[in-house]
């Protein structure tokens, strides 16, 4: 269990954990930064189970493929690094704002106007079209897994 100020070492960087962002079936996501740079990251720390390890390897392979395809153009999160820490697989991602679910929750689940829904649907559609063109199927599409880059402009990843 990671706590604030815990340190994660990879071959290339030292990461400092700041806070827990979420708990999932296969592991946790924490907010952290690269020591000496203050570059904020989302760090996915997967449980050490055979299914979680297989899932992590598949996710890393897909994200590595997507990173070669200019992910900003089709709204896909950037993966920076993948390594093991204390027998747990760790994936480093760019730090984004909040999930679509948390955004809707902050609005107390009040309906979004069409002018706000349209750009969200267009951006999710763009990402799904790119995935389809690469033969990739997203099997866990839900508001919790759609991240907002800029809540004012409703840009997503």
Annotated binding site for ATP, which residues?
Answer: 54
- H helices within 1-157, ranges in order? 50-67, 100-106, 114-133
Strands 27-34 vs 40-46: parallel, antiparallel or unpaired? antiparallel
The three-point CA angle 48-53-56 to 5° equals 125
Annotated binding site, which residues?
Answer: 54
Catalytic member of 72, 97, 102, 140: 140
The backbone region for 13, taken as left when phi is positive above 0, alpha when psi lies in -120 to 50, beta otherwise, is: beta
In sequence order, what E strands does 1-157 have? 7-9, 14-23, 27-34, 40-46, 79-85, 88-94, 98-99, 147-150, 155-156
Is 140 an annotated catalytic residue? yes
CB 126 within 8 A of CB 74: yes
Residues serving a catalytic function are 140
């Amino acid at each position: 269990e990671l706590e604030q100020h815990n340190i994660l070492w990879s071959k290339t960087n030292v990461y400092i954990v700041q806070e827990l962002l979420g708990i999932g079936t296969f592991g946790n996501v924490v907010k952290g930064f690269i020591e000496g740079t203050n570059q904020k990251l989302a760090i996915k720390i997967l449980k050490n189970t055979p299914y979680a390890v297989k899932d992590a390897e598949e996710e890393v392979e897909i994200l590595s493929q997507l990173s070669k395809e200019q992910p900003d153009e089709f709204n896909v999160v950037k993966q920076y690094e993948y390594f093991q820490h204390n027998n747990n697989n760790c994936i480093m991602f760019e730090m984004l704002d909040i999930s679509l679910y948390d955004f809707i929750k902050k609005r107390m689940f009040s309906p979004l106007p069409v002018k706000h829904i349209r750009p969200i649907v267009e951006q999710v559609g763009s990402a799904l079209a790119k995935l389809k063109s690469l033969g990739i199927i997203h099997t866990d599409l839900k508001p919790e897994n759609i991240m907002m880059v800029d809540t004012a402009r409703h840009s997503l990843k």
